[in-house]
Amino acid sequence: MTDRLRWGILATGGIAHAFTNDLKLNGFDVRAVGSRRQEAADAFAAEFEIPTAYGSYEQLVADPEVDVVYVSTPHPFHAEHATLAIQAGKHVLVEKPFAMNAAEAKGIADLAAARGVLALEAMWTRYLPHMVRIREIITAGTLGELRTLIADHSQKLSDDPGHRINDLALGGGALLDLGIYPISFAWDLFGAPVTIHSTATFKATGADGQIATTFGYGGDRIAQSLSISDSKGPNTAVILGTEARIEIDTVWYTPTTFRVVSHDGSVLEEYRSEVTGRGMHFQAEAVERLVAAGDLRGDILPIDETVAIMATLDAIREEIGLRYPGE
């Protein structure tokens, strides 16, 4: 790609560091960073050799040298900051979860369409090479008819009540931070669930500490996921078909290995990811490809699917009785 987009980074937290590091490692043009504090922006710019640092998000999105803004603030601010960038005429890549609920997500999508810019969810797993290969294997019919997905995303995160993961006001809890990964994966494989069954346990702060979901579909298909924020699990996934299965090793939602195994136990394929950095730049490649093609909907993760996934998360929260402040 010869005409690279010029990236602006909105916020300077941990995920912004990981994403920007991958952009720089893979030759992307990062022009500016914005933070609520000038000193934070300056430090981030110095770390990644970014030409311009702003002490406000408004200054960042107004920069004529920025074409696309990566929004990496906490969940409750995604809609506000995506809107800020879109209204300034910028394309946006918004960290997952895309918003707090489907209504917010649709608002972002509708505004982007009206302004003629791309809005994409930063579900980076979908764009990783091993996931691309898995979709190819499924399309080729190697697994036969798909039957089941089983996936976990379980981490030992902070028990501090003031930590973001435990703070409902910041969208804390296992569902939005961790569950979004296997739930989006289920959507990728099977589409919209016909039935949704969920159960959860809660921390003293009211945030969900663990959540299990079972999705039912037509054609004898089921997807099961378990996400936990206070204990580390295997973080593996398996896709079962009538002829073979795919076993994805830890950590399944990052660059990793997998095997295609037939029902007689023979290994049909072994795959190992070879990625420079963490692999978060593949979603940025998709943004640049889509903009160059004039595709404002998206293909690997279309914006209307992002909105529908948020509606699935809304349905799960309704079943387990989880509400965020202000809802």
pLDDT one-digit tens code per residue, 91-113: 999 999 999 999 999 999 999 99
How large is the average pLDDT for residues 102-128? 98
Domain 129-274+310-320 CATH assignment equals 3.20.20.70: no
The pLDDT of residue 306 is 98
How would you write 13-47 as a 3-class SS string?
CHHHHHHHHHHHHCCCEEEEEECCCHHHHHHHHHH
Q: Which residue has the tokens 């049909």?
A: 268
The 10s digit of each residue's pLDDT in 42-78 is: 999 999 999 999 999 999 999 999 999 999 999 999 9
Give the helix ranges, DSSP H, for 94-214.
Answer: 102-115, 129-139, 174, 180-190
Other C-beta atoms lying within 10 Å of the C-beta of residue 125: 25
Please tell me the number of Cα atoms within 13 Å of 270 on its side-chain side. Answer: 2
* Sequence ranges of the chain with CATH classification 3.40.50.720: 6-123+280-295
Omega before residue 302 within 30° of 0, cis: no
How large is the average pLDDT for residues 236-245? 98
Q: Which residues pair with 238 in a beta bridge?
A: 150, 247
The pLDDT of residue 240 is 98
The 10s digit of each residue's pLDDT in 168-220 is: 999 999 999 999 999 999 999 999 999 999 999 999 999 999 999 999 998 89
Q: How far apart are CA 83 and CA 86, in angstroms?
A: 5
- Which amino acid does the sequence have at 175? L
Q: How far apart are CA 183 and CA 228, in angstroms?
A: 14
Q: Which residues pair with 200 in a beta bridge?
A: 211
Architecture of the CATH domain 6-123+280-295? 3-Layer(aba) Sandwich (3.40)
Among 35, 39, 82, CA closest to 56: 35
For the chain, the average pLDDT equals 97
The pLDDT of residue 308 is 98
The pLDDT of residue 327 is 83
Q: How far apart are CA 41 and CA 187, in angstroms?
A: 36
The 10s digit of each residue's pLDDT in 247-273 is: 999 999 999 999 999 999 999 999 999
The pLDDT of residue 1 is 41
The pLDDT of residue 218 is 83
* Sequence ranges of the chain with CATH classification 3.30.360.10: 129-274+310-320
